[in-house]
Amino acid sequence: MPFQIKYKFKEDKEYYICTVTYQQYKNFKKLPIVVECEVIKEDEENVEEYKNEMQKALNLAAKNDTSHIKKLSEAAT
């Protein structure tokens, strides 16, 4: 079941919120460019397409490209 996380990148003042699966969350937390990451709530929507887009974003983030993941995320307030 997907859930929402709140996170922050190194050298970035903003926090972001996005939806991930458990496996994506585990991989996301391991990224060296992520300095903070926490689960904030479960998401009960069917997000299969979003899950695939998030996986692409995680693959890019592993190469220090945060542009796609920021597009899929919203700024936390």
Residue by residue, pLDDT tens for the chain (77 residues) are: 788 999 999 989 999 999 888 899 999 999 999 999 999 876 555 556 777 888 888 899 899 998 888 887 876 65
Q: Token digits for 61?
A: 């983030």
Distance CA 77, CA 58 (A): 23
pTM over 0.75: no
Which residue type occupies 8? K
Distance of CA 71 to the CA centre of its chain: 10
Domain boundaries of the chain, sorted by first residue: 3-75
Distance CA 28, CA 10 (A): 13
